[in-house]
Amino acid sequence: MESRLIFLDIDGTFLEPGRTEAPPSAVEALRAARAKGHKVFLCTGRNYKMTAPVLRYGFDGYVCSAGGYVVCGQTVLFDCPMDRAQSDGARALLEAHGVDCTLEAKDATYGGAKMLERFAGYQAMQQAAPLNSELERWRRAFEEGMQLQPLEAYRGEPIYKICYIATDAASLLPAKQAYGAQFNFCETESFKPDGPGCINGELINRKFNKGEGIRRICAHLGLSTAAVVAFGDSENDLEMADVAAVSYCMANGAPALKARCTNVCPAVGEDGIAIAFKELGLI
The verdict on 89 and 200 lying in the same domain is: yes
CB atoms within 10 A of CB 151: 17
The verdict on 63 and 120 lying in the same domain is: no
Say which residues have a Cβ less than 8 Å from residue 74's Cβ, sequence separation at least 6: none
The verdict on 113 and 190 lying in the same domain is: yes
- When pLDDT is averaged across residues 78-95 and rounded to a whole number, the result is 95
Asked if residue 127 has pLDDT above 90, the reply is: no
Q: What is the CATH number of the domain that holds 64?
A: 3.40.50.1000
> Confidence band (pLDDT; 50, 70, 90) for 44?
very high
Asked if residue 129 has pLDDT above 80, the reply is: no
The verdict on 179 and 95 lying in the same domain is: yes
pLDDT at 40: 98
Count up the domains in the chain and report the number. 2
Percent of the chain with pLDDT over 90: 70
Q: What is the CATH number of the domain that holds 114?
A: 3.30.1240.10
Asked if residue 126 has pLDDT above 80, the reply is: no
What own/partner pairs with CB < 8 Å and gap ≥ 24 does 250-258 have?
250/12, 250/13, 252/12, 252/17, 252/133, 253/12, 254/132, 254/188, 257/232, 257/233
The verdict on 105 and 188 lying in the same domain is: yes
The verdict on 98 and 194 lying in the same domain is: yes
Task: Single out the residue in 157, 177, 205 at which a domain terminates.
Answer: 205
The verdict on 160 and 264 lying in the same domain is: no
pLDDT in tens, 148-197: 788 888 999 999 999 898 988 999 999 999 999 999 998 876 655 444 56
pLDDT in tens, 103-118: 999 999 898 767 766 6
- Structural domain boundaries enclosing 145: 84-205
Task: Single out the residue in 205, 221, 237 at which a domain terminates.
Answer: 205
pLDDT in tens, 49-72: 999 999 999 999 999 999 999 999
Among the residue ranges 20-34, 106-120, 222-236, 250-264, the one predicted with the least confidence is: 106-120
Q: What average pLDDT is seen over the chain?
A: 88
How many Å apart are CA 185 and CA 219, to the nearest integer? 27
The verdict on 201 and 211 lying in the same domain is: no
Task: Single out the residue in 205, 232, 254 at which a domain terminates.
Answer: 205
The verdict on 134 and 199 lying in the same domain is: yes
Rg, the chain, Cα only: 18
